Structure 1
Amino acid sequence: MNNKTAIVTGTSSGFGLSTTIELAQKGFTVIAAMRNSHKSSSLLQEASKHGVESKIIVFELDVTNEQSILSFQTRVLDEFGRVDVLVNNAGFAGAGFVEEVSMDEYRNQFETNVFGVFAVTKAFLPLMRKQNRGCIINVSSISGKVAFPGLSPYSASKHAIEGWSESLRLEMLPFGVKVVLIEPGSYKTNIWSTGKQVAQESLQSDSPYQEYMMSIEKYIAEGENSFGDPLDVAKKIAEIATTEKPDLRYPIGRGVKTTIFLKNLLPWRLWEKIIINKLFKK
């Protein structure tokens, strides 16, 4: 285990930060990729607290920039020559009603959450295939299985990752490379802080969706006290990374498995009635 190398993207906070620490504690040398290395202080402080700072190397990586990915790939291959685990975690959550979300906002969402994952993964697939081993863990979401109103940019991006990961898993299994999806529910991370700027359009007084969006915001706010600890997701990712034969999907979080089960079980008309009644109360 001491020689194994893991890459984690989006490590300046949230799941990425905690996952980096957990993997380092399990003996991995962790390449902590983030868009701006100046934001690494929280990660490095946490690493020092756990005595694993020597196991973590911060690399800059913008998953939406082809040149940045190429430079990152070259540096990893030159300095390490192997990648045992790749955790595609970098992402943000865009929100708003479809009519009011611009095409540029949709494209920005997909550039990070979808095409960024594709590009970073493709950069290391040849190496993993030649190694005849490796584990690719894609951080999806319950929103990749269950769509909610006002979250179409984010939900669409995660649905895309779900389908793509299924295909990739079937392609890579014969080469000893495992592809896994982890599907968290609501956790105490800052993923919504970037997406909020999109949602503002639907919160304006002249928006026909204002009342609906306010109902959704209220529903989310009322449930914030029950949001999970990101460390639980990080521990699960570290567990998956050291599992010989991991499953394809790992739903995690309060009510996640039940929600997915009910959505798949109930007739659509009943499901949509439940969602509308819960989220849009006049």
Structure 2
Amino acid sequence: MKKKVAIVTGASSGFGLLTVIELAKSGFDVIATMRDLHKSELLIEKSSQEKVRDFITLHELDVTSKESIHVFKEYCLQFSSIDVLVNNAGLAIGGFHEDISVDDYRAQFETNFFGVIAVTQAILPLMRTQRSGRIINMSSISGKMGFPGLSPYVASKHALEGFSESLSLEVQPFGIDVILIEPGSYQTNIWSAVDAIERKKDTAYQTYMTSLLSIMNSSKSKYGDPTDVAKLIAKIASQTKKPHFRYPIGVGVKRNLLLKNVLPWRLIEKWMLRMILNYKLKE
């Protein structure tokens, strides 16, 4: 039986790296893409340890580059089918809005939003022709709920959610499923945003920032194992039954989303501000 083919973007670390390994363990031939192939050492090491290295092909792909995406699309034409696309490549830019440049926002969207659009546009014709496929977009609880100090990241994930809803309605008649993964707090690249917040030394939001960082750093030990997210993606990619559209995952995620849906914003806002601004007093 012909093995199914899966593509994963942003495969050099975090969810992407783990997803590549779990998909390979689930029987896929995986095209693991990353902007810099020199950063593939960890993936090679871990996939070799898991004895799935032979099922993984590395390929350079910068999701913000038209030329890179064109080269990758031409490469994919050699396969008789592309069964799964996992749009995972992303970054997180942090800081309070007043301290962030418009160019920083643009950089955030180029990867997290426009990168997803561009790669999907390259692969979608192949799936449409074969009348099957699954497009799995890595969103976040930040795509459903705003958080202070993360507005570039939050905005990009909200945009991804809306795009995915529209895309799903467009491609279902062609047998293609679109899925959103909505993780909560995990030890992944979100911490690049925390580092960015910490580097802001001259800010009018210093007290607010200190409390916010204290909460985020003290919560690290409670964050989930990112392998759970990777296993969920592999399960969705492999299952024969039609998948759900959204998969929230992580400690407190479903509860928080429920509260967001049933409570008026003024109560959520009041609770969040009280929790953050009074945090240092509790310690």
Alignment of 1:251-262 (within 5 A): 251-262=248-259
* CA deviations over 1:73-108 (Å, ceiling 9, x no partner): 111213x23210000000011111111110000000
Secondary structure in 2 matching 1:251 = strand
Q: 2:194, 2:213 within 8 Å by CA — same for their partners in 1? A: no
**RMSD, aligned CA:** 1.2
- Residue 74 in structure 1 maps to residue 70 in structure 2: no
Q: 1:2, 1:27 within 8 Å by CA — same for their partners in 2? A: no
Work out which of the residue numbers 181, 196, 199 in structure 1 matches 2:197.
Answer: 199
- CA distance change for structure 1 residues 197 and 228 in 2, over 3 Å: closer, same or farther? closer
Identity of aligned pairs, percent? 57
Secondary structure in 1 matching 2:248 = strand
Alignment of 1:19-168 (within 5 A): 19-78=19-78, 80-168=79-167
* CA deviations over 1:130-170 (Å, ceiling 9, x no partner): 11000000000000001111110000000000000000001
Question: Once the 2 structures are TM-superposed, how far is the Cα of residue 223 of structure 1 from its aligned partner?
Answer: 0.6
Question: Once the 2 structures are TM-superposed, how far is the Cα of residue 197 of structure 1 from its aligned partner?
Answer: 5.7
Letter in 1 for 2:197: A
Work out which of the residue numbers 241, 246, 270 in structure 1 matches 2:243.
Answer: 246
1:242 and 1:197 map into 2 onto residues whose CA distance is 36
2:271 and 2:111 map into 1 onto residues whose CA distance is 32
Question: Once the 2 structures are TM-superposed, how far is the Cα of residue 190 of structure 1 from its aligned partner?
Answer: 3.3
Structure 1 unaligned residues grouped into runs of 5+: none
* CA deviations over 1:220-273 (Å, ceiling 9, x no partner): 011100011110000000011122300110000000000010111111111100
Alignment of 1:161-200 (within 5 A): 161-193=160-192, 195-196=193-194, 198-200=196-198
2:148 and 2:83 map into 1 onto residues whose CA distance is 38
1:47 and 1:207 map into 2 onto residues whose CA distance is 43
* CA deviations over 1:188-213 (Å, ceiling 9, x no partner): 123322x3464246x31x31111111
Which is worse superposed, 234-243 or 132-141?
234-243
Q: 1:21, 1:52 within 8 Å by CA — same for their partners in 2? A: yes
2:194 and 2:225 map into 1 onto residues whose CA distance is 21
Secondary structure in 1 matching 2:214 = helix
Structure 2 unaligned residues grouped into runs of 5+: none
Residue number in structure 1 paired with 2:260: 263
Q: 1:2, 1:29 within 8 Å by CA — same for their partners in 2? A: no
2:6 and 2:140 map into 1 onto residues whose CA distance is 21
2:195 and 2:69 map into 1 onto residues whose CA distance is 27
Secondary structure in 2 matching 1:178 = strand
Structure 1 moving runs of 4+ over 6 Å: none
